[in-house]
Amino acid sequence: MSRVKSGVVTHARHRKVIAKAAGYYAARSTNFKTATQAVDKAQQYATRDRKTRKRNFRALWIARINAAVRLYDPAFTYSRLINGLALAGIEVDRKVLADLAVHEPEAFNLIAAQAKAALPAAA
């Protein structure tokens, strides 16, 4: 059986990994073995952080909504706003609420007023 040389295939595989490691520091961007480890770890981080990014944005939206609610009425809180929205039957997600709070404060205040009115008087 004839001998098969794998130089072209191996070189292409190495070049693909080195291209993904472009911009890394020192040997991590030039040495195939080190670059492979760095790229593998980077892909693990990317997979994990796609989930983390969703959590971070939700926390940011909640913080923005809470700040805007406190500006509307200092005694009114985020949790009471969400409860009031549910009681009023207003279905607006947190992303849209946060965007309204930042860019359209008047519209946000109208929504907050409706949510506050829907709450029981004792609360």
Does residue 17 contact residue 36 with C-beta atoms inside 8 Å? yes
Task: Locate 90 and state its tokens.
Answer: 């207003």
pLDDT-based confidence at residue 2 (cuts at 50, 70, 90): confident
Topology adopted by domain 9-118: c-terminal domain of poly(a) binding protein (1.10.1900)
The gap between the terminal CA atoms of the chain, to the nearest Å, is 86
Q: Is the pTM of this model over 0.85?
A: no
The 3-state DSSP class for residue 32 equals helix
pLDDT (tens digit per residue) in 55-67? 999 999 999 999 9
Domain boundaries, the chain: 9-118
